[in-house]
Amino acid sequence: MRAKTVDRIATAIIICVAGFIMLVLAALLGYLLVRGLKHISFDFLTSAPQAIKVGGGIGPQLFNSLFLLVLTMIITVPLGIGAGIYMSEYAKDNKLTAFIRLIVEVLSSFPSIVIGLFGLLVIVNTFGFGYSLLSGALALTVFNLPMMVRLTEQSLRNVPKEQKEAGLALGLSRWKTISSIMIPVALPSIVTGSILAAGRVFGEAAALLFTAGMSSPRLDFTNWNPLSPTSPLNPMRPAETLAVHIWKINSEGLAPDAPEIAAGASAVLVIMVLLFNLGARWFGRVVYRKLTASK
Amino acid sequence: MNLPVTNKQGGPPGKSGKWGKHVIEEARGRAFVYFCVLLMVVTIFSIVFFIASRGLTPFISQGVSVKDMLFGLKWKPEGNPPLFGALPFLFGSFVTSVLAALIAAPLGFCASIFMTEIMPKFGRTALQPAIELLAGIPSVVYGFVGLSVVVPFLRDVFPGQGIGILAGAIVLSVMILPTVTTIGTDALRSLPSGLKEGSYALGATRWQTIYRLILPTALPSLLTGVVLGIARAFGEALAVQMVIGNAPHIPRSLFESATTLTSIITLEMGNTTSGSLHNNALWSLALILLLMTFLFVFVVRMLERRVKR
C-alpha cells in the first residue's frame, strides 16, 4: 500500500478514537443528567432517606458531604502548604529530600481503601475517635496531602526568582519572604488546585466506609450546638456521605425506588464535581487576567 | 529534624542582639514546615507499620502459611478448618486491571497523538477538558453507570449475567483513561521538535513519523502512564465491587461472577470482629495491596530512569 494511503487511514482511525472518547463522555454525562434530573427536587435534596419506603431523600448525606469537605480542607490546607513550602524552599538537594519525595509519591499512590483501613485501625480504634466525621476528615487528609504538597511546591517554584531575591535583599528573613511575598503570588494556583482537590474529597467513598461510617444518626437541623449528639455540626457523630450513600443503596438498598435515588444522588454528585471543576477554571482565568492584564 | 537556632540569612541582627525579631520569626516558620513534613513521614511509616503488624499476624502466630494464602483456591474463613486461599482475589484483581489497561492504552495513545500531532488546537480546547472531566467523576458514579448500563448491555449481548471480569474491566478502563492520556500527552509534547522536523524533511508521512519515530522515542513515558493506570485500577475498590459479582472463585469466562482483593476487603471487613483470624486475614490482603503499591512505584521509577537516560 502506498505510504500516503496508510497515512490517511491511520489519521482517520485516530480521529475516530478521539471522537469516540468525546462520545463516551457525552453519553456518560447525558445519561446521568437525564436519568437523575427527573428525580431531583427540593424535597429530594432536603428530606431524610427512607429505609424501606418510597420517597427517601438525601438531605443529611448532602450536608455531611459538604461539612466533611470543609473539615478536611481546614486540616489539609495548612499542613499541605507547610510541607510544600519545605519541599520547595527549605529542602536541600540531598538524599533526605529524595527520600521525602519518594514518600510523597508512595503516599499519593496508595489505594484509598488502604488509607481507609489505616484510618479504621489508628484513628477510629487506637485514638478512639469512633466512626465519626473527624475520623473521616483525618483519613481524607492523608489521602489528599500528597496532592496538596505537590501543588504548593509547583506553585512556589513558578514564582519569579527576582521577587524572592528582592525580598531577601531587603533583609527580610526567609520565612517572611515566603509568607508575605511568595505565597501571595502563588496563591491563585494554590487555590485553583485546592478546589480541584476538594472535588476529589467530595466524590471519595472507599476511604470513608470504615472511618466516617455508613450510617447517619437522626439529625435535628434546629440544634446548632456542636456538642450535642443530634446536632449536624457535631464532628464526633458518624456520618454517611453522598458517595457512600450511592454505594450503599446500590449494593444493599431495600427501598423500592433505590435505582431512582441512586440516579438522583449520582446526578447531584456529578453536578457538584462539575461545579468545582468549572469554578476552579473560572477562578484561575479571572486571577490570571487580573495579574497579567491580558485579555 | 534539627531546629536551627541561628540563621545565616536572617537579616541584620535585631536590636535585641542574637534573638532579634527576624530570627524568632524564621525559627517559628521553620518549626511549622518541619512539623508538617515530619507529620507526613510519620504518617506513611505508621500506615506501613500498622497494616503490616496486623497483616503478618496470621502467618506468625495463627498458623496460616504464606503459600496457602497466595496459592490456595478456597476462601472459607469460617469453615473447619478455616481456609484462606486468596488466589481467586489476586487473579481477579490482576486480570481486571490488566484488561482495563489493554482497553485504555490504545485509546489513550490515540487521544494523546490526536492532541499533539493531528489537531492540537481542537485537542486543547475540547478533548483535554473532556478528559479532565472524566478524571473528576467519582468512582461510585462509575460503579452506578456500570451497574445500570454496562451490565445490562453485556447481559443482552453475551451469555451469562453480565456481571463479571469484563464489566469490571470496562468500567476501570474509562476510569484510568485520563491517567494514560494525560501522561502520554505530556510525554509527546516534551519531545524535541527537531526530531519530527527531521523526519518530515526526509519525506516521511505523518503516520510514518508517528509510528517509526514518535512512539518508540516516547515509549517509556507512555508505559509509565499505563503502569500508573494499572496501579489505580488495582487499588480501586467500590466501582469494581459493584459490577464484578463478588463470587470467591476463579471464573471460567469473562462473563462469570468473580471478585478482587479490594472488594473482598470492603465486603467482609465490617462484618468481622477485630483480632479474629478472619479479620487478620483481611489485613493480610490489605498488606498485599500495600506491597503491590510499592511494586508499582518501583516500576514507575525504573521507567522514569530510562526516560532520563
Structure confidence at residue A272 as a pLDDT band (50, 70, 90): confident
Annotate B89-98 with b (16+ C-beta within 10 A) or e (fewer).
Answer: bbbbbbbbbe
Residues B110 and B213 in one domain: yes
Residues B154 and B98 in one domain: yes
In chain A, residues with a C-beta closer than 8 Å to the C-beta of B40 are 79, 83, 100, 103-104, 107, 145, 149
- Give the separation between CA B107 and CA B184, rounded to whole angstroms: 11
In chain B, residues with a C-beta closer than 8 Å to the C-beta of A106 are 44, 293-294, 297
Q: Which residues contact B31 (CB under 8 A, 6 or more apart)?
A: B3
For β-strands B83-84 and B75-76, DSSP reports them as antiparallel
pLDDT at B32: 92
The one-character DSSP state at B76 is: E
Q: Kindly state the percentage of chain A with pLDDT values over 90.
A: 14
Is there a contact between B29 and A178 (Cβ–Cβ < 8 Å)? yes
In chain B, residues with a C-beta closer than 8 Å to the C-beta of A266 are 140-141, 144-145
Q: Is residue A8 pLDDT above 80, yes or no?
A: yes
- Give the separation between CA B210 and CA B204, rounded to whole angstroms: 10
- B256 in helix, strand or coil? coil
pLDDT at A52: 67
Separation in Å, CA A101 to CA A22, A91, A106, A146, B295: 35, 10, 9, 10, 17
Q: Is residue A292 pLDDT above 70, yes or no?
A: no
pLDDT at B6: 47
Minimal Cβ distance to B36: which of A82, A251, A270: A82
Q: Which residues contact A104 (CB under 8 A, 6 or more apart)?
A: A87, A146, A149, A150, B40
Which residues face B245 on adjacent strands?
B258
Domain membership of residue B47 (yes or no) is yes
Residues B275 and B158 in one domain: yes
Domain membership of residue B64 (yes or no) is no
B293 and A13 within 8 Å at the Cβ level: the answer is: no
Q: Locate B96 and state its grid cell.
A: 481486571
Residues B45 and B97 in one domain: no
Residues B96 and B12 in one domain: no
Domains and CATH numbers, chain A: 38-292 (1.10.3720.10)
Residues B50 and B125 in one domain: no
Higher pLDDT, B233 or A220: B233
Q: Locate A265 and state its grid cell.
A: 444522588
Q: How far is B150 from chain A (nearest CA, A)?
A: 11
pLDDT digit string, tens, across residues A131-190: 888 889 999 999 889 999 999 999 999 888 898 899 889 988 888 888 888 888 888 888
Domain holding B194, by residue range, is 83-308
Domain membership of residue B67 (yes or no) is no
- Radius of gyration over every alpha carbon of chain A, rounded to an integer in angstroms: 23
Residues B177 and B38 in one domain: no
Q: What are phi and psi of A150, to 5 degrees?
A: -60, -40
A69 touches chain B (CB under 8 A): no
**Residues in chain B, pLDDT under 70:** 1-18, 309
The one-character DSSP state at B270 is: G
Mapping DSSP onto H, E and C, the string for B175-213 reads HHHHHHHHHHHHHHHCCCHHHHHHHHHCCCCHHHHHHHH
Domain membership of residue B73 (yes or no) is no
Mutate to test the interface with A, among B46, B144, B210 (most CBs of A within 10 A): B144
- B91 in helix, strand or coil? helix
pLDDT at A293: 62
pLDDT at B267: 84
- Give the separation between CA B107 and CA B103, rounded to whole angstroms: 7
Mapping DSSP onto H, E and C, the string for A8-26 reads HHHHHHHHHHHHHHHHHHH
pLDDT at A51: 67
A103 touches chain B (CB under 8 A): yes
The whole-model pTM stands at 0.87
pLDDT at B309: 64
A289 touches chain B (CB under 8 A): no
Classify the C-alpha dihedral B40-B42-B44-B50 as positive or negative: negative
Is there a contact between A212 and A248 (Cβ–Cβ < 8 Å)? no
In chain B, residues with a C-beta closer than 8 Å to the C-beta of A102 are 297
**Domain count of the fold of chain B:** 2
pLDDT at B18: 62
A18 and B127 within 8 Å at the Cβ level: the answer is: yes
- B225 in helix, strand or coil? helix
Half-sphere exposure of B62 (CA within 13 A, CB side): 20
Mutate to test the interface with A, among B7, B19, B32, B140 (most CBs of A within 10 A): B140
Nearest to A62 by CA among A294, A289, A239, A247: A239
Residues B44 and B193 in one domain: no
Q: What DSSP letter does each residue of chain A carry, written as one string?
A: --HHHHHHHHHHHHHHHHHHHHHHHHHHHHHHHHHHHTT--HHHHHSPP-SSSS----HHHHHHHHHHHHHHHHHHHHHHHHHHHIIIII--SSHHHHHHHHHHHHHHHS-HHHHHHHIIIIIIIIS---SSHHHHHHHHHHHHHHHHHHHHHHHHHTS-HHHHHHHHHTT--HHHHIIIIIHHHHHHHHHHHHHHHHHHHHH--TTTTTTT-S------TT---TTSTT-TT-TTS----HHHHHHHHHHH--STTHHHHHHHHHHHHHHHHHHHHHHHHHHHHHHHHHHH---
Domain membership of residue B78 (yes or no) is no
Is there a contact between B154 and B84 (Cβ–Cβ < 8 Å)? no
Domain membership of residue B75 (yes or no) is no
Annotate B287-305 with b (16+ C-beta within 10 A) or e (fewer).
Answer: bbbbebbeebbebbeebee
Domain membership of residue B25 (yes or no) is yes
Q: Locate B32 and state its grid cell.
A: 511549622
Residues B4 and B131 in one domain: no
Of the listed ranges A15-24, A253-262, B110-119, the one predicted with least confidence: A253-262
Q: Locate B130 and state its grid cell.
A: 473532556
Minimal Cβ distance to B130: which of A25, A80, A121: A25
The one-character DSSP state at B17 is: B
pLDDT at A55: 67
**Average pLDDT of chain B, as a whole number:** 84
Residues B159 and B225 in one domain: yes
Residues B197 and B303 in one domain: yes
Residues B35 and B94 in one domain: no
Phi-psi region at A171: left, alpha or beta (left = phi > 0; alpha = psi -120 to 50): left
Minimal Cβ distance to B141: which of A15, A25, A270: A270
Minimal Cβ distance to B138: which of A7, A259, A269: A269
Burial level of A138, CB count in 10 A (0-12/13-18/19+)?
buried
CATH number at residue B231: 1.10.3720.10
Is there a contact between A153 and A108 (Cβ–Cβ < 8 Å)? no
- Give the separation between CA B227 and CA B230, rounded to whole angstroms: 5
> Whose grid coordinates read 465490617?
B270
CA-based end-to-end distance of chain A? 49
Nearest to B63 by CA among B260, B224, B273, B284: B284
- Give the separation between CA A41 and CA A62, rounded to whole angstroms: 13
pLDDT at B10: 45
Domain membership of residue B39 (yes or no) is yes
Is there a contact between B277 and B77 (Cβ–Cβ < 8 Å)? yes
Structure confidence at residue A201 as a pLDDT band (50, 70, 90): confident
Is there a contact between A78 and A183 (Cβ–Cβ < 8 Å)? no
A273 and B294 within 8 Å at the Cβ level: the answer is: no
pLDDT at B152: 85
Q: At what angle do helices A133-157 and A59-85 cross, to 10 degrees?
A: 40
Q: How far is A229 from chain B (nearest CA, A)?
A: 23
Annotate B154-180 with b (16+ C-beta within 10 A) or e (fewer).
Answer: beeeeebebbbbbbbbbbbbbbbbbbb
Nearest to B1 by CA among A175, A173, A99: A99
B145 and A31 within 8 Å at the Cβ level: the answer is: yes
